[in-house]
Structure 1
């Protein structure tokens, strides 16, 4: 075993911190937990509860090669070389010179934390392999002329052996170049003829040695195949590389054999499928989400960018009025290749447009693992009117209920096992916390059991959208558990100016004015409805309907709709609440700005934070987020604090006391505490003597 694994074991538990677990003191206490994420100095950290591994920080100057200069089988070999080498420390970058955002755009982006050193030209490509050959165990030989699926079998075997998958032709070239590598496994004598036989061989002979936490689903075809995207991650983690067609019952059944040995809440699929819904529904039945990644480049480099997420502040929610509130959600954020490529293009081109109208951009919460630098770029450059929500349907694309018939994917529920659904929603909650996302877009629908799973396990969730592509009567809005609103989109995938504008005019025209009304739309980012067009439609609606229509962020949308429906809403995000603190502390507003990334601190004994709710309220729930919520060590969490309430700011009543705290957030439900003032008194600060509060949320019943 290489020296850089002396602090971590590779397959299964890379890092030992795990999910933080605590037993509740009573049924009203709800605890929030996720793995403590730390970046290793070398090697890979992959604690249980973290979907994807964290890599060491990239070398200051990466060796790079353009994938366009490589043949199909060279791409397989160089992607494996990249994964094996980057497992110790990211030192090799594969880039695509034809990428729409530019092959070196991310390397030139402030805060992404890597730079390109030497670029190896096509004629020099084997010099790159020679440079790192000492870190490779050898080669796994295959013959793609028998079946292109041997590429995936060889990649899977090479991953567990830490070797390079090498075709007949490439092997001859390596010998010519004097690259002496041992033949670890020769697959050329196998007589498996098709995908079922080949992946059955993989399942029987190599799957027991593969990581059960990840599968890379990659098309191996010579034409139109996926020959390097995220294959570096498969090599780095020892994950199986598979391509099975969910439309074919026998292949779908075989895929289920692999998925059946993976655990919901601990496993993920990278890549794509022969068809969208046949593949996604196959994985959904096992509670496993998919990260569309068949064009995502150099995952083992981006996974080494700084893991601390800079969650942007949330502007104050406007006061509820008798008008129509409209939220516009932009697709297709579950797709991490879109986050890396197309989203960057639209985001930068629309720099002058963004900020004119509230827009909610869907984005993958998996970026906190696989590309935190990319997520931080969007967060850091967002305007106050740019909001973010998860792509469908949380941590990875999952279809709980399908509403669009496709071959291999009939209508109906797929995530029907409650235990597996709970695993998926628990994983989603971990990533809602780590990413700061509070709204989930669900494709397509969620039935009552699935909604209950979201409500129970996703404590950070304030609202979700559901949709249907066909007229399925069961798709409707509603509130689950008296807490989480599921809002049915008016249009699930608006594709044109006329489509969206016509629907808005119709909906606004028939509003009866009897109370606040809420309309949510999702627009197709791949079509004509870019932000500039959305701003124009919003301007036309304001001109036609005046102040009776207001466009809002997705998080504001759900806070306002809960308020209007007399569901507890977070009043701390409104301008009705003011916050003060003891002397000698940081600005108290840091605990009330909608982000855990800014932390209120005090080094004085007896420090306190006090919230004035403006008038008497009925408090139903409060959440106190600590240092761990900001990505700091949980040893810095405030250890002991008490919570009090008051009607006049003079006489105080005890609400809660917490001792020996190690939780990143204290989440408490109440029967209904009548108060105007809410106070946190620090009795024992963190390990270094500094009291820290990252964010406070106060959920009250409406009084108006």
Structure 2
């Protein structure tokens, strides 16, 4: 499962409301052509190359101060990237610091990041003041900041930093999200770039330091079949005494994806029921303190896998001495309690530099109901294939529904909500090779089980920037043949990032195009003519980045992933250089020829090396050994590392042979 994403050429200028000369934007047609003679048409905006960077560690700042600085970064870096921020711990072991070091640019560290506001204050018109009482006003403020050359701030920040208030959004909106974003679309769309649109949450949940959780229930076996489904009584009285009790549901085995699942909840204080609800209902809402890291299942159950969780808050009547929570629950649950508010809500700062610099319109519209209808209107206003950068609300269901709506609207999705310093990375013109990796050809296929294994998530450019860099630096990388999905759009969004992975790949590392080409999408949901545009764009990016395999989705029917149609496969064959397609679909066989291309289902298994190998043994149990068998496996990018691959590879002895994807599909093209 996929999780989950410069503008200026420096020529020309316009006058903006007394600010002076601010570089002007290219037209859509001009932006589609690189300033380098003979280079291919561009999808994403152009940034100038940075020459010197002022940088600071902002990891300890509040979300509000991060937002102030990130939007300042967007205005300043629009002309030429000059500001860079480290969002993690500020050590050399984290990606932000590593990428900065490898840029080999002159830099200056600012120990107090907010000193940069004073230094660059003359470069902005002032502040767009958002309304803390209306979280979505932060996104409207971000759109306006890009248009007005301003920063986003609250009223106190504006006063503290001596920022003129350009526009005050306090009192303009209420909690009607549709009305807020309708106003933005009606009033700001004519002024924003039509080259891309963005989706970012206005707020984030931040853990409060020092909170102590007491474990009260844990499933100690790796149960994935709901066989332990039952009614569980959870006595949470130990945390009575303060205002409320917080109950967290998480996954007791974080590596395999079958975490706590809950269908009903009731709460009794001193024997009297004070709450009774089912997940994803209005009755649940008053008690769901933090549900942003959980999902809703097919039974309307709430679940959380891996490192995810959700938290209920129960405030018992005064004098309560017994508080009992009863839940219908199953799978690998881990339940813990505390009497201290464990999180707080802050503005979501990430990726706003890119949004401001490109003068993009940013919204946050869950893809169902009235908000989904408005999201459809957004997609309809943008030309194909203008991408949607950011992400969607409602976790997995939001992903599936949101990507489907974007596909129907002709917009590929670029997961970029945590893509930091995008304005700097997009300006670095690091060389990228267009040469395809030579195939280690197996001239005479044997009656073996040929296995190729692929890390997913590569369509997600913030994953490429962060998690992929972390696991790529594992010293065990290169010990086992491994395919790595990656976004070819990094050729424009982060050439230095793509170049790094390309340059440092070992002979056992193969980069392949992430789903489903030039941006995450479901090809079966596209209009045929618009899909052709998308596939042509995908082919252009794959050729630029030396990729000749693609991991793809098709679409879902009745909650089931389906095989790419013959017509869509023919489109990939006609317009892209792919030699085969790794695909997620729920069916048999594991390998077919469709539209002239070999297509393989993305088989997967829970657990790490030993359990994965056991599942693979079961998968091939009916193989007769009379001809080659082919298994394309998908590896969990958030739970596995190259060290896990190095542990698995020696287990794949006869009849298995572990090969890179290009060898795998070369064989398939000859025997299928």
TM-score, normalised relative to structure 1: 0.67
| Partner Cα distance (1:13, 1:500) in 2 | 51
Match of 1:497 in 2: 609
Counterparts in 2 of 1:16 and 1:550: CA distance versus 1, 3 Å: same
Please state if 1:520 is matched with 2:508: no
Please state if 1:138 is matched with 2:126: yes
1:56 is aligned, of 48, 53, 59, to 48
Please state if 1:270 is matched with 2:390: yes
Match of 1:75 in 2: 66
Shift of 1:472: 5.4
Could you list the per-position Cα deviations for residues 336-391 of structure 1 after superposition, in whole angstroms to 9, with x for gaps in the alignment?
12211111111112x2x222221001111121111111111111111111001122
Shift of 1:199: 0.2
- Paired residues for 1:378-457 under 5 Å: 378-400=501-523, 415-443=525-553, 445=562, 446-457=564-575
Match of 1:258 in 2: 378
Counterparts in 2 of 1:494 and 1:223: CA distance versus 1, 3 Å: closer
2:196 is aligned, of 180, 192, 214, to 214
CA contact (8 A) 1:138 1:163 kept: yes
| Partner Cα distance (2:645, 2:10) in 1 | 50
- Paired residues for 1:189-204 under 5 Å: 189-204=171-186
Shift of 1:419: 2.0
CA contact (8 A) 1:11 1:238 kept: no
Match of 1:321 in 2: 445
| Partner Cα distance (1:242, 1:324) in 2 | 48
CA contact (8 A) 1:286 1:420 kept: no
Shift of 1:532: 2.3
Shift of 1:514: 2.8
Shift of 1:318: 2.9
- Paired residues for 1:10-409 under 5 Å: 10-11=24-25, 13=27, 16=30, 18=32, 36=34, 38=36, 49-60=41-52, 62-98=53-89, 101-109=94-102, 112-114=103-105, 116-122=107-113, 125=114, 127-145=115-133, 147-175=134-162, 179=163, 181=164, 183-221=165-203, 223=205, 227-246=348-367, 248-275=368-395, 276-310=399-433, 313-322=437-446, 323-349=448-474, 351=475, 353-400=476-523
Please state if 1:556 is matched with 2:663: yes
CA contact (8 A) 1:466 1:476 kept: no
Could you list the per-position Cα deviations for residues 659-696 of structure 1 after superposition, in whole angstroms to 9, with x for gaps in the alignment?
xxxxxxxxxxxxxxxxxxxxxxxxxxxxxxxxxxxxxx
| Partner Cα distance (2:67, 2:425) in 1 | 19
Shift of 1:263: 2.3
Could you list the per-position Cα deviations for residues 380-418 of structure 1 after superposition, in whole angstroms to 9, with x for gaps in the alignment?
111111001122111111134xxxxxxxxxxxx5x1411
Give the secondary structure class of the aligned counterpart of 2:520.
coil
Q: Where in structure 2 are there 5+ consecutive unaligned residues?
A: 1-7, 15-22, 207-345, 554-560
CA contact (8 A) 1:67 1:94 kept: yes
| Partner Cα distance (2:429, 2:543) in 1 | 17
| Partner Cα distance (1:48, 1:463) in 2 | 24
Counterparts in 2 of 1:369 and 1:162: CA distance versus 1, 3 Å: same
Counterparts in 2 of 1:291 and 1:115: CA distance versus 1, 3 Å: farther
| Partner Cα distance (2:515, 2:521) in 1 | 6
Q: Where in structure 1 are there 5+ consecutive unaligned residues?
A: 19-34, 40-44, 401-412, 566-704
Could you list the per-position Cα deviations for residues 443-474 of structure 1 after superposition, in whole angstroms to 9, with x for gaps in the alignment?
3543333323322322x111111123xx557x
Counterparts in 2 of 1:397 and 1:377: CA distance versus 1, 3 Å: same
CA contact (8 A) 1:113 1:373 kept: no
| Partner Cα distance (1:467, 1:49) in 2 | 30
Give the secondary structure class of the aligned counterpart of 1:53.
coil
Please state if 1:531 is matched with 2:524: no
RMSD between aligned residues? 2.8
CA contact (8 A) 1:327 1:554 kept: yes
Relative contact order, CA 8 A, sep 6+: which one is greater?
2
Give the secondary structure class of the aligned counterpart of 1:104.
helix
| Partner Cα distance (2:177, 2:419) in 1 | 24
| Partner Cα distance (2:173, 2:29) in 1 | 40
| Partner Cα distance (2:490, 2:57) in 1 | 23
Shift of 1:327: 0.5
- Paired residues for 1:442-481 under 5 Å: 442-443=552-553, 445=562, 446-458=564-576, 460-468=577-585, 471=586, 477-481=591-595
| Partner Cα distance (1:556, 1:438) in 2 | 12
Shift of 1:12: 5.6
Match of 1:6 in 2: 12
Give the secondary structure class of the aligned counterpart of 1:211.
coil
Give the secondary structure class of the aligned counterpart of 1:269.
strand
CA contact (8 A) 1:49 1:265 kept: no
- Which shifted more, 112-121 or 278-287? 112-121
Match of 1:488 in 2: 601
Shift of 1:309: 0.5
CA contact (8 A) 1:293 1:336 kept: yes
Shift of 1:6: 1.3
CA contact (8 A) 2:68 2:151 kept: yes
Shift of 1:510: 3.8
Give the secondary structure class of the aligned counterpart of 2:79.
coil
CA contact (8 A) 2:512 2:551 kept: yes
Give the secondary structure class of the aligned counterpart of 2:413.
strand
Could you list the per-position Cα deviations for residues 539-593 of structure 1 after superposition, in whole angstroms to 9, with x for gaps in the alignment?
1221xx2xx432111122111110123xxxxxxxxxxxxxxxxxxxxxxxxxxxx
Shift of 1:536: 2.6
Give the secondary structure class of the aligned counterpart of 2:522.
coil
| Partner Cα distance (1:36, 1:210) in 2 | 21
Shift of 1:261: 1.1
TM-score, normalised relative to structure 2: 0.70
| Partner Cα distance (1:49, 1:507) in 2 | 45
Could you list the per-position Cα deviations for residues 603-626 of structure 1 after superposition, in whole angstroms to 9, with x for gaps in the alignment?
xxxxxxxxxxxxxxxxxxxxxxxx
- Paired residues for 1:626-637 under 5 Å: none
| Partner Cα distance (2:415, 2:173) in 1 | 32
Could you list the per-position Cα deviations for residues 102-129 of structure 1 after superposition, in whole angstroms to 9, with x for gaps in the alignment?
54111222xx34453222415xx1x312
| Partner Cα distance (1:472, 1:3) in 2 | 48
1:506 is aligned, of 593, 618, 630, to 618
